[in-house]
A and B are shown apart, each in its own frame.
Chain A
Amino acid sequence: MAACSVEELLAKAEEEEKEKLKSITVHKDLELEFDVGNLLAVDKNRIDSRDVKSAKKEDFLRALARDNTQLLINEVWKLPTERVDDAIVATLPEPTTPLPREKPPPKPKPPTKWEQFAKLKGIQKKKKTNLVWDETERVARNEYNKLKNIARAQKVKIPGLGLTPKEQQSKNELTKAVSVAKTSTASAGRFQDRLPKEKRVKNTGKKRKFEPLIGDFSNERQKQLELLKVLGSKKPKLDITKAVNKQMREEDREEAAAKRSKGAGKKGRKGNVPGKRKGKAGKAQGGKRRGKPGKR
């Protein structure tokens, strides 16, 4: 009796244990359909209508939900997992079940003015398919790039490529071509007439570049001082007016000295003669001045 009761007890305990730790394997007549990307499982097994209507409805539904969830989680565990900060994370595949969108679909945009016009006129957008891959041009371009690289490595200046013929030329390229053609005359395009409303080609000249406003002050000063040195060291030119002035001054001085040393009458006569010969106003005035003391 006692032994029997012990066995009974053990069996009861075992049953309770089983109830707590339910098996992860769940038997189903039909396999469930899974969409793991959406964490979705669809159970197509038949449900006994009596179970649903009975008093144990809640327990039945709970058990069904547990079993199906268990199957879904089994499916999730089959996916590759990784550990991120003490949590195991499975990467879900792309969802397969299309879900309806949250917001209504956008309304079609009203056609633009051009689209209206195009519809009216029956204009259709054409794709430019007349472009053909040109092997020879590509090779030539590559060759030019190669030469450019060599030139850069040797620090040599390279001439521009100029204008290469193309299937489709842009507006910019055409204006450039026109300006190049115009300046390619013997007079460098000086006498080429411009078309009415033709615009000047931009960005052809050299750009100005200035020193920074607040830069190296000592360097700036040094440069200016050097410039001054160059300005100051210009070779003295023969300045005729200066030379003449100097000559006149010297003559004045000589005459004054001669006046002091020689007699008055003699000097007056002498003074007049060179004055007439040279025919200079200054000289004549000098003679006059000398003449005065002579009269006295």
Chain B
Amino acid sequence: MRPLTEEETKTMFEKLSKYIGENIKLLVDRPDGTYCFRLHNDRVYYMSEKILKLATNIARQKLVSVGTCFGKFTKTSKFRLHITALDFLAPYAKFKVWVKPGAEQSFVYGNHVLKSGLGRITENTMQYQGVVVYSMADVPLGFGVAAKSTQECRRVDPMSIVVFHQADVGEFIRNEDSLT
């Protein structure tokens, strides 16, 4: 485990800012204690200082996970968000998409959101903007990337993709063994 280098921090923040914009500040500077990002096995974990100090007692090879896994760095040093980060993305999300109850299952099974399943979308969403996907009952289901801007969404046919799937809560079951 080690702190992130400046380069890594930048890459991760750029990715996070696609979903929560400048709200990253609220994650870095929290009034309820010191929280930090740490890299372990190419994965970024977000944890409080207290947990970090406890985790130092565990050998590096034996440590599987600490705090919340936000995502991982790929071999080409890009950053991929994991579904585990949803707890921190959902409250601060700037652009949201609500899916109809009928399309919920399809999304949770790892499919893209089609126009027919689109319930509501934040105004002014641009194309390729990172969005958090909610059910109509405001339960966060995952996140993805807007395939069409809000304007275009109104005009496209019902079978065209509106939100590209990136991660959904179904992964907690599907990728149970690899998700840390």
Contacts and interface: CB of A to CB of B under 8 A. Distances in A.
Interface of A: 210-215, 217-218, 220-221, 223-225, 227-228, 231-232, 239, 241-242, 245, 248-249, 281-282, 285
A225 B36 CA distance: 12
A231 B34 contact: no
A220 B36 CA distance: 8
Contact of B2 (A211, A218, A249): A211
B2 A210 contact: yes
B34 A228 contact: no
Given A217-B36, A220-B36, A241-B149, A225 B29 contact: yes
A227 B151 contact: no
A28 to B, nearest CB: 81
Given A248-B151, A282-B155, A227 B36 contact: no
A48 to B, nearest CB: 88
A213 B28 contact: no
B176 interface: no
B155 A214 contact: no
B169 interface: no
A241 B52 contact: no
Nearest to B1: A213
A282 B154 CA distance: 10
Contacts of B3: 210-213, 215, 220
A228 B126 contact: no
Shortest Cβ-Cβ A-B pairs, 4 listed? A211-B3, A210-B2, A217-B34, A224-B28
A217 B13 contact: no
B149 A228 contact: no
A217 B126 CA distance: 36
Nearest to A218: B34
Given A210-B5, A214-B52, A245-B151, 12 more contacts: A210-B2, A210-B3, A212-B3, A213-B1, A213-B38, A214-B53, A221-B28, A221-B29, A225-B28, A231-B14, A239-B126, A245-B126
B22 interface: yes
A285 B29 CA distance: 48
Contacts of B49: 217
Identify whether the interface residues of B are mostly helix, strand, loop, or mixed.
helix
Contacts of B10: 227, 231
A242 to B, nearest CB: 6
Contacts of A285: 155
A245 B124 CA distance: 9
A228 B2 contact: no
A213 B9 contact: no
A131 to B, nearest CB: 48
A281 B155 CA distance: 9
A242 B126 contact: yes
Contacts of B13: 224, 227-228, 231
A214 B56 contact: yes
A232 B36 CA distance: 20
Interface string B119-133: 000000011000000
A225 B28 CA distance: 7
Contacts of B32: none
7 contacts: A213-B1, A213-B56, A221-B28, A224-B28, A225-B28, A227-B9, A228-B22
B68 interface: no
B116 interface: no
Interface in B21-78: 22, 24-25, 28-29, 34, 36, 38, 49, 52-53, 56
A228 B10 CA distance: 8
B155 to A, nearest CB: 6
Contacts of A228: 13, 22, 24-25, 28
Nearest to A211: B3
B177 interface: no
A241 B2 contact: no
B6 interface: yes
